């Protein structure tokens, strides 16, 4: 069975971390390594991770030497990856139990080095486990195929569902920007010619953040997406403006789900 390296950045996530970790450890595809980087939490997250590691050797926590943000935390984990595939899950989200099994079969069937899936949205205060999840009508649907031009117009990939093939793409790191580093990574992979394929079935659950948080502040999308377009993709002002309009539209559309 292919080994999947699961990348999880953590910062003061003790309230939701347990459910996220258990959603990885209870996957029907059990050949995983959970590479967790704690970004200098102050709420006991690292202690919780050490408890998980003592119980399951697949949990491999690491304490970041200093606060570096989510991108740096993810990269520290990616650099340790030994797996055939690299997948991503944040410490406040969850995977459904068959996520990896179904996505690996989907990736092999379509010979796709970058895949993603549809996903559910849950309320910020959801306190259950992935094994307790009851499907709801709040679904962000995955597009069947996404190439570089389409991805420039809109980010179709939910990071909690993304998985790439290290044997094909090599080890790919994220640019170390405060936000949208995942989007920049998908763009860099597709800029090199890869086409991403989306699995229609929702296989993960995204925690919708409270109003006023970084993730829910739509104004913050503008500056970070602009940095991706101009600094990482080197688009002209006109093309960057067109891409930004699509990104804002998608963000507002998804926020209504």
pLDDT of residue 255: 67
Q: What is the pLDDT of residues 106-133, one digit of tens each?
A: 999 988 899 999 999 999 999 999 999 9
Instruction: Note the Cα 189 to chain centre separation in Å.
Output: 15
Q: What is the share, in percent, of the chain residues with pLDDT greater than 90?
A: 72
Q: What is the pLDDT of residues 184-202, one digit of tens each?
A: 999 999 998 899 999 999 9
**Position of tokens 């991403």?**
196
- What residue spans of the chain are helical by DSSP H? 14-25, 45-55, 69-78, 99-110, 148-153, 166-169, 181-191, 218-227, 237-255
pLDDT of residue 229: 86
Residue predicted with more confidence, 202 or 178: 202
Homologous superfamily in CATH for domain 4-216: Spore Coat Polysaccharide Biosynthesis Protein SpsA; Chain A (3.90.550.10)
Instruction: Compute the average pLDDT of residues 212-238.
Output: 72
Evaluate the CA torsion angle 80, 86, 89, 90 in order and state its sign.
positive
Domain ranges of the chain: 4-216, 217-256
- What residue spans of 134-236 are helical by DSSP H? 148-153, 166-169, 181-191, 218-227
| Residue 155, CB-side half-sphere exposure with 13 Å CA sphere | 25
Region of 120 (left: φ > 0; alpha: ψ -120 to 50; beta: rest) is beta
Alpha-carbon span 14 to 220, nearest angstrom: 25
Q: What is the DSSP letter of 172?
A: -
Q: What is the pLDDT of residues 118-175, one digit of tens each?
A: 999 999 999 999 999 999 989 999 999 999 999 988 889 999 999 999 999 999 999 8
Instruction: Note the Cα 47 to chain centre separation in Å.
Output: 23
User: pTM of the full predicted structure?
Assistant: 0.90
Compute CA distances 14 → 45, 93, 127, 192, whole Å.
5, 13, 12, 38
pLDDT of residue 254: 64
Please give the structure tokens belonging to residue 33: 């390594």
Average confidence score pLDDT of the chain: 90
pLDDT of residue 178: 81
Indicate whether 14 pLDDT > 80: yes
pLDDT of residue 214: 40
Compute CA distances 167 → 59, 60, 182, whole Å.
22, 22, 20
Distance from first CA to last CA of the chain, Å, rounded?
36
Q: What is the pLDDT of residues 71-93, one digit of tens each?
A: 999 999 999 999 999 999 999 99
Nearest to 241 by CA among 250, 229, 254, 249: 229
Instruction: Compute the average pLDDT of residues 27-35.
Output: 98
């Amino acid at each position: 069975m292919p080994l999947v390296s699961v990348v999880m950045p953590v910062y003061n996530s003790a309230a939701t971390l347990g459910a996220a970790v258990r959603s990885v450890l209870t996957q029907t595809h059990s050949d995983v390594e959970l590479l967790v980087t704690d970004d200098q939490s102050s709420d006991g997250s690292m202690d919780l991770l050490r408890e998980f590691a003592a119980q399951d050797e697949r949990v491999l926590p690491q304490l970041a030497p200093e606060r570096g943000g989510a991108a740096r935390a993810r990269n520290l984990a990616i650099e340790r990856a030994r797996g055939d595939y690299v997948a991503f899950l944040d410490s406040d989200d969850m995977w459904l139990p068959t996520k990896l099994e179904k996505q690996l079969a989907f990736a092999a069937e379509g010979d796709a080095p970058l895949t993603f899936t549809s996903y559910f949205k849950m309320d910020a205060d959801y306190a259950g486990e992935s094994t307790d999840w009851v499907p709801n009508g709040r679904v962000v649907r995955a597009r069947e195929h996404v190439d570089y031009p389409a991805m420039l117009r809109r980010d179709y990939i939910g990071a909690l569902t993304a998985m790439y093939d290290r044997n094909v793409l090599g080890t790919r790191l994220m640019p170390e920007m405060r936000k949208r580093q995942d989007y920049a990574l998908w763009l860099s992979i597709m800029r090199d010619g890869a086409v991403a394929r989306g699995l229609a079935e929702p296989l993960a659950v995204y925690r919708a953040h409270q109003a006023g948080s970084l993730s829910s502040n739509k104004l913050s999308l503008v500056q970070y997406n602009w940095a991706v377009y101009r600094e990482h993709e080197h688009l002209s002002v006109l093309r960057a403006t067109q891409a930004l309009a699509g990104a804002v539209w998608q963000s507002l559309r998804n926020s209504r789900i």
